Amino acid sequence: MRLGCCACGEEIAVKQPNAVCFTAVRNLMAQQPAHRRGRPSRAAIHERLEYEVGELRARLGGLPLPAEAEDIWTAIWYQEAHNSTALEGNTLALREVEILLSERRVVGEKQLRDYMEVRGYADAAQWIYSQAVAPGDWGNGELLTLTEVREAHRRAMTPAWEVDPPAEATDIESPGNWRRHNIRPFAGGMQPPGHTELPALMTDWVASVNAIRSEVSAVPEVRQFRGMELELIRPPIAEAVARRHAVYERIHPFLDGNGRTGRLLTNLLLVRLGYPPAIIYKRERPRYLEALRKADQGDYGPLGELVARAVLDNLMRFILPAVAGPARLVPLEALATADLSVIALRNAAERGRLRAVRTPAGTWQSSKQWVTVYKASRYKALKAPRPRRSRDSAGG
């Protein structure tokens, strides 16, 4: 196979379709300042994710288990159950979801199916979190099994199905069972495969999922081409997971609930790989659908970036603030509050007013203790009386 280098346009003979000429890209990136402002590039997001997760493992013991950090996982649970169902049209507000899940009572006057959708998804998400760290009899040492795929769908969809099943559903297409008839093309024109192909396709899909670890950990292959050293790199882990998510959605193995089940399985993979789960927020629905459409056309970059940003957001918003002690250095995003934004903290760090350390990745880290000291000095400066100008200095 011959592909054009993404940086220099040279035609490169390669064996793998994901290979790129990385030397030119790396040289260009080396010319850019690590702390450049503005929206980070896709490559920078993937690098930041790897760096921060590496720091989480090395300095903070890795991703905390649900049993030992219930508050962290409960906060993620509320957000995931709300947003993942809202992406499919569920009308419950976040507060209604929190009351439904924490107090098991209904507030508001929404359709019964909406409450059952959230209840089912939340129960499945809790099962996913526990499965990720302790699969028990469900697992076989691999990242995923076909049994887990079907069980995730069964748990997520049964409550809503019992009160309002799809009109076209047959008895043998109940939650946890593959669809038994063909479905119409999607809005973008993509046609899911025929139902008779599903058993073989899903077996192959699970096998591709279980190849992720070897795919992303393989040593890059270096070749010589026209006197240049070309490095054939593997995709970042978020993009590798996103690729499987997109393929699953194209297969569309179940009659209903494929989007929700696909996102649940994506988070099962992420947590088993040592990463926080990803939450695609309902406000990101247009970007998410567009990324899936591009993935259908063979471009997995946008979806991989979306997943990487979602994992980073959970890491900064939920994980690091809870697991880091007061003296631990963490990214500024994990220290930001409603009254002290990331931008304010970064400005204070760059001006030397907040004690902070710049990492090799070019980002700033500080600690809860140092931010407390900075807040106190900031408050003291604001409360200090301003010197009055004399009449002479005022021109009087």
pLDDT band for position 66 (cuts 50, 70, 90)? confident
Residue 315 has pLDDT above 70, yes or no: yes
- According to the model, what pLDDT value does residue 189 have? 80
Please indicate, yes or no, whether residues 184 and 308 belong to a single structural domain of this protein. Answer: yes
Domain boundary residue among 292, 323, 354? Answer: 323
Residue carrying structure tokens 């993979």: 269
Q: What is the pLDDT of residue 233?
A: 62
Among 229-233, 239-243, 247-251, the least confident range: 229-233
Number of other residues whose CB lies within 10 A of the CB of residue 278: 26
Residue 154 lies in a domain: yes
pLDDT at residue number 84: 98
Is the distance from CB of 286 to CB of 323 less than 8 angstroms? Answer: no
Quote the tokens at residue 330. 């963490």
Regarding whether 170 and 252 lie in a shared domain, the answer is: yes
Per-residue pLDDT, averaged over 342-350, amounts to 93
The token duo for 176 is 């946890």
Q: Are residues 210 and 307 in the same domain?
A: yes
Q: Which of 86-90, 177-181, 338-342 has the lowest mean pLDDT?
A: 338-342
| 16-20, 254-258, 362-366: range with highest mean pLDDT | 254-258
Q: Are residues 196 and 93 in the same domain?
A: yes
pLDDT at residue 18 greater than cutoff 50: no
Q: Are residues 274 and 370 in the same domain?
A: no
CB 73 within 8 A of CB 129: yes
In percent, how much of the chain has pLDDT > 70? 81
Question: Do 282 and 194 belong together in one domain?
Answer: yes
Please list the residues that pair with 230 across neighbouring strands. 223
The answer on 296 and 152 residing in a single domain is yes
Q: Quickly state the pLDDT bin for 37 (edges 50, 70, 90).
A: low
Question: pLDDT confidence of 190, banded at 50, 70, 90?
Answer: confident
Residues 96 and 204 in one domain: yes
Residue 33 lies in a domain: no
List, as one string, the DSSP characters of 247-262: HHHHH--SSS-HHHHH
Average pLDDT on 145-174 reads 95
pLDDT of 45-55, one tens digit each?
999 999 999 99
Number of domains in the chain: 2
Stretch 295-317: mean pLDDT: 96
Looking at the predicted structure, is the pLDDT value of residue 395 above 80?
no
Bridge partners for 330 per DSSP: 366
Contact 124, 253 (CB under 8 A): no
- Structural domain includes residue 26: no
- Confidence check: pLDDT of 222 > 70: no
Tell whether 199 is covered by a domain.
yes
- Reported confidence tier of residue 293, pLDDT bands at 50, 70, 90: very high
pLDDT beyond 70 at 32: no
Per-residue confidence band for 67, with pLDDT thresholds at 50, 70 and 90: confident
pLDDT surpassing 60 at residue 347: yes
Q: Is the pLDDT of residue 24 over 60?
A: no
Neighbour tally for 17: CB within 10 Å: 8
For residue 158, pLDDT beyond 80: yes
pLDDT band at 354 (very low <50, low <70, confident <90, very high): very high
pLDDT of 325 strictly over 70:
yes
Is residue 391 situated within a structural domain? no
The sheet with strand 330-331 has its strands ordered as: 330-331, 364-366, 357-358
Does residue 230 have a pLDDT over 80? no
- Asked if residue 23 is part of any domain, the answer here is no
Whether pLDDT at 12 is above 70: no
Same domain, 133 and 158: yes
Q: How high does pLDDT run on average in the chain?
A: 85
Q: What is the pLDDT of residues 202-213, one digit of tens each?
A: 999 999 999 999
Q: How far apart are CA 299 and CA 293, in angstroms?
A: 9
Q: Does residue 27 fall inside a structural domain?
A: no
pTM, 2 dp: 0.80
Q: Which residues pair with 231 in a beta bridge?
A: 222
Inform me whether the pLDDT recorded for 144 exceeds 60.
yes
Check whether 152 has a pLDDT greater than 80: yes
Report if residue 28 sits inside a domain.
no
**Are residues 222 and 231 in contact, defined by beta-carbon separation less than 8 angstroms?**
yes
Show the domain range for 334.
Answer: 330-383
How far apart are the C-alpha atoms of 203 and 251, rounded to whole Å?
11
Q: How many CA atoms lie within 13 A of 2 on its CB side?
A: 4
Q: Which of 186, 365, 344 is nearest to 258 (CA)?
A: 186
Bridging pattern class, strands 11-13 and 2-4: antiparallel
Under the banding of pLDDT at 50, 70 and 90, the label for residue 228 is: low
Q: Which of 307, 323, 339 is the last residue of a domain?
A: 323
Kindly report the CATH number assigned to the domain that includes residue 147.
Answer: 1.10.3290.10
Q: What own/partner pairs with CB < 8 Å and gap ≥ 24 does 86-93 have?
A: 86/282, 87/259, 87/263, 87/280, 87/282, 87/285, 87/288, 88/117, 88/259, 88/260, 90/114, 90/117, 90/118, 92/118
Q: Are residues 242 and 97 in the same domain?
A: yes
